[in-house]
Amino acid sequence: EQYRGIRPAPGYPACPDHSLKPILFDLLDAETATGLELTESFAMFPTAAVSGFYFGHPQAEYFGVARVGRDQLEDYAVRRGADLKTAERWLRPNLD
């Protein structure tokens, strides 16, 4: 049977912020449970490793995050508890 849902991953179009990976790793205690490592730049080791959010629902659909305006960036920074410069670095490819 085919998977019925979506699997967006940090760093990809539906979820461009790589900085979400440490949250997943901490929540799942991934380093201890799997031996995977996360670098300072949020790369995973070994390089064949994958992570993501798994939503199982037949009506789930992928979508990409389009251009992000200044007001959206400021709101995102507040909700993530980050300074604006850090949020800009996380989302640079999507900024207007």
- Domain residue spans in the chain? 1-65, 67-96
Residue that is written with structure tokens 């998977």 in the block: 3
Q: Is the pLDDT of residue 47 over 70?
A: yes
C-alpha of 38 from chain center: 13
Q: Are strands 37-38 and 44-45 parallel, antiparallel or unpaired?
A: antiparallel
- Quickly state the pLDDT bin for 2 (edges 50, 70, 90): confident
**pLDDT value, residue 96:** 87
- Quickly state the pLDDT bin for 70 (edges 50, 70, 90): very high
**Residue 45 · residue 53 · CB < 8 Å:** no
Q: Is the pTM of this model over 0.85?
A: no
- Quickly state the pLDDT bin for 39 (edges 50, 70, 90): very high
What's the mean pLDDT when you consider all of the chain? 93
**Residue 85 · residue 93 · CB < 8 Å:** no
